[in-house]
Amino acid sequence: MKISLKKWVPALLVASCFVGASVYAAGSDKPNKLPLEPVHEAEFYGSPSSSISSAVAIPEGAATFHTSGTVPPMLNKEGKTLYERYGDTKTQGIGILKEIEKQLKEQGLTMKDVVYLRVYLVADPAKDNKIDYTGWFDAYAQFFNTKTNPVKTARSTVGVAGLVNSDWLIEIEAVAVYPQLHNQD
């Protein structure tokens, strides 16, 4: 019996991703391994002391909603500096998360449905041309891992050389999972 390698390579690739996520989730408040049975809602893995999750398991067949890179809203068109026009990293991050929240609401979702954020940051001229990670983390902390929204998203925060508009210090992409309805047997 001949087994085609072309048929097995994709399956092995997917399996290795799950193994990688399992290993990465070590030390989490959830089991160290991804569940053997399908999950019925998004499950977050990671250290209870961390503000973010190290991995998220998504239910099979779950519908997801992905935002494009969302940029900060203009605060004052007549502003003389980027800070007057758009604000610092924290202000821009809050403005972006509010916009993402609005996009989610239009889809019947909330910030509690967000499972992943990809964040791009550039150096802040007012911070000695260094990336203001603290400003971003402070903005994040107003929306996630709170009493009203205990979700701790999986997240990547990436320092980049620049964004499309030189006044922007941050751009965020979000992934949310639509809640699944369960049959009560």
Q: Which helix (H) or strand (E) holds 155?
A: strand 154-159
- Domain count within the chain: 1
Domain assignment present for 182: no
Residue 170 sits in which domain range?
Answer: 5-177
Domain assignment present for 185: no
Domain assignment present for 132: yes
CATH of the domain at 105: 3.30.1330.40
Q: pLDDT tens-digit profile of 152-172?
A: 999 999 999 999 999 999 999
Q: What is the average per-residue pLDDT within 96-110? A: 97
Q: pLDDT tens-digit profile of 55-98?
A: 898 988 899 999 999 999 999 999 999 999 999 999 999 999 99
Domain assignment present for 39: yes
Q: How confident is the model at residue 33 (pLDDT cuts 50, 70, 90)?
A: low
How high is the pLDDT of residue 35? 56
Domain assignment present for 20: yes
Domain assignment present for 34: yes
Considering the entire predicted model, what is its pTM? 0.78
One DSSP character per residue, the chain reads ----HHHHHHHHHHHHHHHHHHHHTTT-SS-SS--SSPPSS-EEES-TTSSSBSEEE--TT--EEE---B-PPPS-TT-SSHHHHT--HHHHHHHHHHHHHHHHHHTT--GGGEEEEEEEE-EEGGGTTEE-HHHHHHHHTTTSSSSS-----EEEEEE-S--SSTT--EEEEEEEEPPPP----
Domain assignment present for 183: no
Q: pLDDT tens-digit profile of 122-149?
A: 999 999 999 999 999 999 999 999 999 9
